[in-house]
Copies of this chain bind each other. A is one copy, B any other.
Amino acid sequence: MPTERPTIADVAERAGVSKGLVSFALNDRPGVSPQTRERILAAARDLGWQPSLRARALSVNRAFALGLVITRDPEIITGDPFYPSFIAGVERELAPAGQALVLSVVPDEEAELAAYRKLVEDRRVDGIFITDLRHDDARIALADELGVPAVTLGRPEGASPFPAVSMDDRAGIEAAVDHLVGLGHRSIAHVAGPARMLHGSRRRKAFEDAMARAGLRATMIVETDFRAADGARATRDLLARQEDPTAIVYANDPMAIAGLGVAQRSGLRVPEELSITGFDGSDVAEHIFPALSTVATDAVSWGAVAARVLLQEIAGEEPGDTELPPARFIPRESTAASPEPIPRAER
């Protein structure tokens, strides 16, 4: 049976000083003579004293934890390559700082707001991550109302009192389009994410801009919910159209992989007859056949930097916005020269 864990009072007694002085010594604060400090530290060591995070939390009014809420239908959360890496990056910063991550996974936006509110009102966390920004994102106002430090992944549309950590995903999409145009494609479609999600519409805009710059019309765009099933549906839609795309730019990898499945199933050869690009650099995308050309984002760094910024903010500094290296396009096997434009009927 583990004997009662020693408290600061035990240390004080053993060192023959007052509680307060022990606290000073242990926190490296001035006003303690070197000998006494040494004696106190020795006593603490002898007793195997460890600070009680709870007592500290109560007296200094800090949680020593950060909060993240992920909004995903639990049945379909699988397959998203972003969060696990992001969290690993966050952890990389938090662990050495003695902070922890409190995670909530909720099914919808209503529950999301409630979860953030609860986390903050319970004072479980000192700051929150706001990921997957949406248009008119209610979380910005909520965090502001709650007076909690926050960091946003990407810059929100309106004014935001919080620092943003952004990664230019436009560059990756543009590079993908440029790559395809360079291969002779002129009929390029885009399977977009939800328009209400900022990165969904931003990638779509990037697609449109890149097409325009290439002198092409971006007419074939299908909106999805980012899920593999919807990526498959969107691909079927596109392949059923009059004007047949010779290339499809997907807003994420799971949809691209599902789209590849649809194309292959309908007898289309990839990349000979249809080129495909993904987004997010998931592990498995590299190993399918043909290997998926995709846009890699460094979610690990994103998490690490966001965590660092949030900690700075909590510490009272005023970190500015941060721009991470842009997402970069990785050509692999799923993209190739555009086929001769042969009317579908003759195929």
Residues of chain A at the chain B interface (Cβ within 8 Å): 2, 50, 52-55, 57-58, 63, 65, 72, 74-85, 87-89, 91-92, 95, 100-106, 115, 119, 121-124, 147, 227-229, 231-232, 254, 257-258, 260-262, 264-265, 281-284, 286-289, 291, 299-300
Tell whether, in the assembled complex, residue B54 and residue A123 are in contact, meaning their CB atoms are under 8 Å apart.
Answer: yes
Tell whether, in the assembled complex, residue B229 and residue A287 are in contact, meaning their CB atoms are under 8 Å apart.
Answer: yes
Distance between Cα atoms of A287 and B299 in the complex (Å)? 25
Q: Ordered nearest first, which 10 A-B pairs have the shortest CB separation?
A: A74-B88, A258-B287, A79-B283, A78-B81, A261-B289, A264-B289, A77-B84, A261-B288, A53-B122, A91-B105
Instruction: Given contacts A74-B91, A78-B281, A227-B283, list 11 more A-B pairs with CB under 8 A.
Output: A57-B57, A65-B124, A77-B84, A78-B84, A79-B282, A79-B284, A88-B105, A91-B105, A95-B115, A102-B103, A258-B288
Some 11 contacts from A to B, beta carbons below 8 A apart, are: A53-B122, A57-B57, A65-B124, A72-B84, A78-B282, A79-B282, A95-B104, A100-B124, A103-B103, A261-B288, A265-B289
- Other-chain contact of A88, B72, B91, B92 (Cβ < 8 Å): B72
Copies of the protein in its oligomer:
2
Distance between Cα atoms of A288 and B76 in the complex (Å)? 16
Inside 8 A of A232's CB, which chain B residues have their CB?
287
Tell whether, in the assembled complex, residue B287 and residue A228 are in contact, meaning their CB atoms are under 8 Å apart.
Answer: yes
Inside 8 A of A124's CB, which chain B residues have their CB?
53, 65, 100
- Other-chain contact of A101, B63, B95, B102 (Cβ < 8 Å): B102
Tell whether, in the assembled complex, residue B77 and residue A88 are in contact, meaning their CB atoms are under 8 Å apart.
Answer: yes
Distance between Cα atoms of A200 and B120 in the complex (Å)? 40
Distance between Cα atoms of A78 and B92 in the complex (Å)? 16
Distance between Cα atoms of A106 and B100 in the complex (Å)? 12
- Other-chain contact of A84, B65, B89, B105 (Cβ < 8 Å): B105
Tell whether, in the assembled complex, residue B119 and residue A100 are in contact, meaning their CB atoms are under 8 Å apart.
Answer: yes
Distance between Cα atoms of A183 and B162 in the complex (Å)? 60
Most buried by B among A79, A258, A284: A284
Contact of A84 with B91 at beta-carbon distance under 8 Å, contacts A58-B54, A257-B287 already known: no
Contact of A91 with B104 at beta-carbon distance under 8 Å, contacts A53-B122, A254-B284, A257-B287 already known: yes
Most buried by B among A52, A78, A89: A78
